[in-house]
Amino acid sequence: MQSHTLQSQTLTRTVPGMNCQGCVKRMREAIHTKDPSASVEGFPAEKRLEVTSSLDGNALDSALSEAGYPPDEAPSEDPLPAESAPTSEVAEGQNVPTDAPQQRLLISGMTCAGCAKSVEKALANTPGVSAASVNFGTHTAQVTGSAKRDALIEAVAAAGYHAEPIVDMREAERTREAQEAATYRQRLKGSILSLALAIPLMLSMFVYHPHPMGLGRLYWLVIGLLTLAILAFPGRHFFTNAWKQLKHHQANMDTLVAMGTGTAWLYSMMVVLFAPWLPEVAQGSYFEASAMVVGLILLGNAMELRARGRTSSAPKRLLDLQEKTARVIRNGVEQEVAVEDVALDDHIRVRPGERLPVDGVVLDGQSYIDESMLTGEPVPVHKAADEEVGAGTVNGSGSLVYRATRIGPDTRLGRITEQVASAQNSRPPIGELADTISGIFVPAVMIIAVLTALAWYNLGPAPVVIHMLVTATTVLTIACPCALGLATPISTMIGVGKAAEHGVLVRSGEALQTASRLNTLVVDKTGTLTEGKPRVTEATVLHDDSAQVLAWVAALESRSEHPLAKALTAYAEEHNARPDALASFDSVTGGGVKGTSQANDTLLLGNARLLEASGVDPFPSRREHSPAGTQGALAGLFSGEWQAGRPLRR
């Protein structure tokens, strides 16, 4: 009992022999023999074991060695209490200490991959930052290091963008969705207005295209003012963002769009105003090009926002697995509180069919818990006193009271959500080239535009100035790094998000890229690949009246909470069996069920141990003659399979 009086601490061990959750279970059982209140979390993919216990390091190592899982010789220990132990996540591709703190920021104002590169550079140059990663797809930044939050926000602001901290992922997700929904509507509306002017104007060129002389000048002046309205309202953010970038001695896609559309409009307006003094070959107008470019880019931005919203929904769906409220018992009074208000060691009651709000240890009651979203195993797991339960899992038909041991982001569900979000933010190796090109794309385009102007000025036909302006403007207008910059993050988001929807967690973009080269997949347990709906595929009835046997089966299993009971009940219903009334019913843990019929017949349905304990031979077909002393006993032997081929056992 002395170990329970010591302060709990979190110890981390690297266990080379840990390959699956079965290994974790065996290690947990070994540790519980020395400290029943210990909390054990295993991460087979990382060979990492986290133990919150009153045991010291030597005692923990001894327990693991006795279980057949000796840890590495140089274990790392964290003497902090469980509730204050920092979560450690390593930025992909960075040599960062495992205990380095991480912060996540929501970035607004980015319009292209070049913007993301500028923000990432600003964050990386902030004192105290050891690694920084900015995802243009999710408009988030992940920073590792000891830098203060205010310093990071100031660094982003100095680069010409806005940042706000992500404290609560659920609230941040709602904020991001609201912002992107408003921006989507604004971009779509602006695109419609711009194209409503540009498309008729371009079509009218085949019918009516007057020279900017006389009445034609008035026509083009009206068109020019309408185009100016398009640039000043739907396309205003291009120019305001370009000005911000200019003040910070930077350039992005908005710079290209502003220069291209602005130059085309200015040149066309100069033609309208000074047409009589210009040669006829120079009297061309490009108002429709300015309006069309603004309309198409706004339409592309709207489509990008819509695609980004769809592909980044995986963390939101994981967050939705967590209950928003919890039924807490405090001072003998049961009350419903927000899940954020749940404290460690609170006693929580979970009713049948409800999701568990936080991690904990069962104090009272028993039930079957659906843990498929955590473990991948589709069959519900029986939980009783002193057994661990996790947030987001679904309670069966029983009622439980358990003690909260991990809350908020420290729960297993919270860590999984954080891992998915980090994986979507991670950059696969193939993305490094795209990011590098995106970072120098805008300056390169501007240099190409200047070289084009010089080439036409020195080698082009007369009037050289007109051709020089037109060609340089064309280069600025059509260049856009978004397709290149979006390809990698969007594809990573789609891959990680779709995998998470199907219960597969991808650790990082690098792992996702590595998976594309797999040619053999070895799975250590079939339960992760099946549908999780057991069914009876074959039944051998060793009784003269099979209908009566199925009626007994339906009567017994309709009262059972075991996952296989539904399969047997469904099989009986398929054969039109009606359950008989029972005089008594009892569930035998680890054995099956038993009861007494109205005719006082003893009914047994379960595994061989249950039948043998009651004096019934479970394999009468092995003998030449069936026993005569088993009258009233249900001796039917049911065998079944998973839909993917896994044998059923009761």
pLDDT digits (tens, 9 = 90+) for 320-364: 677 888 999 998 899 999 888 899 899 999 988 889 999 999 999
d(CA 402, CA 397): 16
Query: Does residue 630 register a pLDDT over 50?
Result: no
- Among the listed residues 72, 364, 524, 545, the single catalytic one is 524
| Alpha-carbon dihedral 472, 475, 481, 487, rounded to 10 degrees | -170
At 25, list the tokens: 């279970």
Q: Are strands 48-53 and 39-43 parallel, antiparallel or unpaired?
A: antiparallel
Both structure tokens of 291: 């309006």
Q: What is the pLDDT of residue 310?
A: 60
The candidate with the shortest Cα–Cα distance to 527, out of 649, 609, 413, is: 649
Asked if residue 224 has pLDDT above 90, the reply is yes
Pairwise CA distance, residues 22 & 40, whole Å: 13
pLDDT 10s digits, 543-596: 778 888 888 888 888 887 777 888 888 888 888 888 877 878 887 777 788 888
Cα separation, 527 vs 550, whole angstroms: 28
482 compared with 555, residue with greater pLDDT: 555
Going by their DSSP bridges, the two strands 9-14 and 602-606 should be labelled as unpaired
pLDDT given for residue 531 in this prediction: 65
Answer whether 441's CB lies under 8 Å from 483's CB: no
Residue 587 has a pLDDT of 78
Question: Is position 524 annotated as part of the catalytic site?
Answer: yes
Indicate the range of 136-140, 247-251, 444-448, 500-504 predicted with least confidence. Answer: 500-504
Both structure tokens of 380 = 């519900």
| 288-314 tens-digit pLDDT | 888 998 998 888 888 877 766 665 556
Residue 382 pLDDT level (bands cut at 50, 70, 90): confident
Q: What is the pLDDT of residue 349?
A: 93
- Mean pLDDT, rounded, for 171-189: 82
Across residues 533-543, what is the average pLDDT?
80
Average pLDDT, the chain: 77
pLDDT tops 50 at residue 631: no
Rounded average pLDDT over 107-135: 84
- Which amino acid type is present at position 277? W
**Would you state the structure tokens that stand for residue 270, as one six-digit string?**
């100069």
* 59, 67 contact by CB (below 8 A): no
Question: Could you tell me the pTM of the whole model?
Answer: 0.55
Higher-confidence residue: 100 or 496?
496
- The model's confidence at residue 22, banded by pLDDT at 50, 70 and 90, is low
**Higher pLDDT, residue 565 or 425:** 565
Residue 198 pLDDT: 93
